[in-house]
């Protein structure tokens, strides 16, 4: 009986591995959703990033650097939308965003998200990140139209230095 079952053990192991990956991907997404992210991030996590996690888990494993980068990108993305109250937090945001965007862009491309949807999502993220830099993000969110345009003129650090620079993700450039 054991000899007859042994050819099936790799299939059972593979099924078990798939179940572990699916469970961890689901738990990771749910953990991000527990933070009550903006709707655009919520939809992205459920529809797109879940698929990225599944593919990454299957290709590289749950303890791999690519898996860790994908889960860190969720935390970083959600953190980037939270209000930044001092110059040090703003500086950290400027440093972390390019890394986060690189991982997000690679994941979106890997699961075949159309370029227009990628651009729309990244534009909305930039709008939310810009709001996080403003002194009163809740008031800014209520007043700002969701146009997807990059509009942060006059955005300044407490020291009076304008926030500026370029963030690149593939062919996309945020200035």
pLDDT per 10-residue tile (average), the chain, 175 residues: 75 85 95 95 96 96 96 95 91 91 95 96 94 63 40 35 46 48
DSSP string, 90-106: HHHHHHHHHHHHHHHHH
Distances (CA, A) of 111 to 56, 79, 115, 127: 10, 24, 11, 24
Residue 42: other Cβ atoms inside 10 A: 15
What is residue 15's predicted lDDT score, i.e. its pLDDT? 83
172 DSSP β-pair partners: 169
């Amino acid at each position: 009986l054991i000899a007859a079952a042994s050819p099936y053990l790799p299939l059972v192991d593979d099924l078990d591995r798939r179940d572990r990956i699916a469970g961890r991907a689901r738990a990771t997404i749910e953990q991000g959703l527990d933070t009550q992210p903006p709707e655009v991030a919520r939809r992205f996590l459920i529809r797109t990033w879940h698929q990225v996690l599944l593919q990454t888990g299957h290709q590289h494993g749950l303890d791999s650097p690519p898996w860790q980068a994908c889960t860190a990108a969720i935390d970083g993305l959600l953190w980037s939308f939270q209000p930044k109250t001092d110059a040090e937090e703003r500086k950290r945001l400027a440093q972390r965003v390019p890394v986060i965007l690189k991982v997000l862009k690679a994941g979106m491309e890997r699961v075949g998200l159309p370029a227009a949807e990628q651009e729309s999502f990244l534009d909305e993220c930039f709008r939310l990140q810009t709001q996080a830099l403003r002194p009163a993000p809740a008031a800014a969110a209520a007043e700002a139209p969701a146009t997807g345009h990059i509009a942060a003129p006059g955005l300044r650090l407490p020291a009076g230095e304008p926030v500026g620079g370029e963030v690149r993700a593939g062919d996309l450039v945020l200035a």
